[in-house]
Amino acid sequence: MGGANGVLIKGRLDYVIEVLRQNLAITWMMLVTVESILVAAGGLGVLIKNSDRFMNHGRILALQIVILLVGLGIDLFLNYLRKVLFRYSRI
């Protein structure tokens, strides 16, 4: 009976990676917002907020591009990992 449970879990690992990928996308979107609220914690949100205060729009755009590229990199890596490990997956 234990073997059957292992087969079910292994059969769904591609979905686990897909859900992880979706949750990381939501987390990454919320990162800047939370950091701008918690100024004491520092981070990208504080840099954007301070740049806005001093009208440094070039820096804001550069930071947003960095956030976009890192988020896309994480997403592409997880998608590639899922496709390499689970070629049968139809997601």
pLDDT (0 to 100) of residue 9: 58
Give this prediction's pTM.
0.69
pLDDT (0 to 100) of residue 14: 83
Question: Domain segments of the chain: what residues?
Answer: 2-85
**Torsion angle, alpha carbons of 21, 26, 31, 33, to 10:** 170
Give the SS3 label for residue 52: helix
Q: What is the pLDDT of residues 19-77, one digit of tens each?
A: 998 998 888 888 777 776 776 667 777 888 888 888 889 998 998 898 889 889 999 99
